[in-house]
Amino acid sequence: MSPEEARARVRDAAGPELLERLEHLDATRSRPPVDDRPPESAPDAGAAVDCDVALVGGGLSLLYAPVLAAMGAKVHVFDRSRAGGTHREWNASERELGALVSMGLLTPDELDGLVIARYREGFCRWHEGGTWPVTRVLDRSVDAGALLSLVRRRAESLGVVFHDGHSLIGHASGERSIALRFRDGSGASREVVARLMIDARGAASPSATADLICPTVGGVLTGLAQGDGPDEVDPGVGEILVTTEGVEEGRQHIWEGFPGRPGETTVYLFYYDKRAAVGDGSLVKLYARFFETLPRYKRGEPTLERPTFGYIPGWSRLTPAPRPPSSRIVLVGDAAARHSPLTYCGFGATLRSVKPASARVMAALSDERASLDPVVHDTPLHRGTGALAHMIASPPREPARAGALNGLLDAAFGSLHSMGDEAYGRLLRDEMSGGEFFRFLHSTSMRRPEVYPWVFRVLGAAGVGRWGAGVLQALWSKEA
């Protein structure tokens, strides 16, 4: 399918505005975002401030606004479009969703109303391998748009001020505050002074420098055949990671499918890659592949009801971490890329981070010396799983080895499965201890001894050293 045809299918499903967003996102690959229009001068130490916290980006990280406001901060939210206006379906594990209630953001009934599907189990399946089921992992899908609308209303009721249609174009940090320059919908520029800025612009932040990236396309489909065959959808089952062929076009493409409202299934196609390798138009090309190869994954007469797409940053932990350009800026969400490099589940990671990170922001507002880099939690386990993600992002390109990555992943997930449902679930929920992760690696290498030279080829000796040190750190971590 040609890119023009793929564009037309997205436009037919969701209108020209969404297609414009897709093209805007794709264009950022060759023109990485920069904050190149700073205010004329940085605020001096005694400058008056408009707010304590300027939250720039009102996507998933909008969750920070009511939590900080409830802790006493004066919060302003800025978004280039409308804060809280996302149209996505997110899945998460039931246990993680409980944080929305314990943080005081939602009542149990409100949370219940946002869950659009509950499923009994999930599985991973690698082409020509086994099916490896697991329970209590990504077993709930949530209406993300309704969640963020509710969070916005809660924030407004706590006095948070919203500035929709404001795009950050530059900043200048002073000793105690930061001046921010925005361009609004009419093209006019406006300056605001805050004590701290939270950069929640996701992949569009200039600080989103993590080394890996996951281009993702798909959306909510109707018309897929229902049943329990591999090419049918079962509304009681979430398909976490599924491949339908080996490496093609130098990439291992992966499907994810999970139930939504009755008759609807959210289906994504994605691949892991090195950030620098993903060029212009990658999402449109991936959409062309999505429409063309969907019948390899599921049969039926599908209609794309609501397209969703984006670039999700990931960090291997083998290269320097994304860092904010000044101590007045705090990175959260995708910009910080501290979520799992294996599952890229930003939702669950944000749910874990919002409360402790907000407490640290409040502490920094009362004590200027408190360090905020990084403010979001990063579990030691990610030092181990990051290298695995790097390997998936660097699959063998020789045609004769097109199936090798699937073979290795099948051995790895077979090992996990044999460690038991709890251990398997712990890896995918970012809860596995360092010792357990080490046993998982050992068991996989027993099944596939050829993994050793492969790891050296992909990571190099220095990378293997950094990975080994990271795994050892995870082994000794208190969290492990």
Ligand X SMILES: Cc1cc2nc3c(=O)[nH]c(=O)nc-3n(C[C@H](O)[C@H](O)[C@H](O)COP(=O)(O)OP(=O)(O)OC[C@H]3O[C@@H](n4cnc5c(N)ncnc54)[C@H](O)[C@@H]3O)c2cc1C
| Contacts to ligand X by CB under 6 A | 56-61, 78-81, 88, 90-92, 167-168, 200-202, 204, 216, 268, 308-310, 312, 333-335, 345-348
- Asked if 284 contacts 23 with a C-beta cutoff of 8 angstroms, the reply is yes
**How far apart are alpha carbons 412 and 49 in whole angstroms?**
53
Number of C-beta neighbours around residue 64 at 10 A:
31
Residue keyed to tokens 């805007």: 24
Instruction: Closer to ligand X by CB, 92 or 179: give it.
Output: 92
Instruction: Closer to ligand X by CB, 145 or 263: give it.
Output: 145
| Shortest Å, Cβ 3 to ligand X | 19
- Asked if 214 contacts 207 with a C-beta cutoff of 8 angstroms, the reply is no
Instruction: Closer to ligand X by CB, 290 or 467: give it.
Output: 290
Peptide bond into 374 cis (omega under 30): yes
Residue 31, Cβ density class (10 Å: 0-12 exposed, 13-18 middle, ≥19 buried):
exposed
| Shortest Å, Cβ 449 to ligand X | 34
Question: Which is it for the CA torsion 64, 67, 73, 77, positive or negative?
Answer: positive
| Shortest Å, Cβ 308 to ligand X | 4
**How far apart are alpha carbons 41 and 172 in whole angstroms?**
7
| Shortest Å, Cβ 357 to ligand X | 12
* Residue at shortest CB range from ligand X: 346
- Tell me the sheet residues that pair with 76: 54, 161
**For the chain, how are helix, strand and coil distributed in percent, rounded to 5?**
40, 25, 35
Q: What is the DSSP code (8-state) at residue 325?
A: S
- Tally DSSP H helices, then E strands, for the chain: 14, 18
Instruction: Closer to ligand X by CB, 265 or 444: give it.
Output: 265
Token pair of 338 as six digits: 């501290």
Instruction: Closer to ligand X by CB, 99 or 200: give it.
Output: 200
Number of C-beta neighbours around residue 457 at 10 A:
11
Instruction: Closer to ligand X by CB, 403 or 425: give it.
Output: 425
| Shortest Å, Cβ 424 to ligand X | 18
Instruction: Closer to ligand X by CB, 89 or 410: give it.
Output: 89
| Shortest Å, Cβ 170 to ligand X | 10
| Shortest Å, Cβ 83 to ligand X | 7
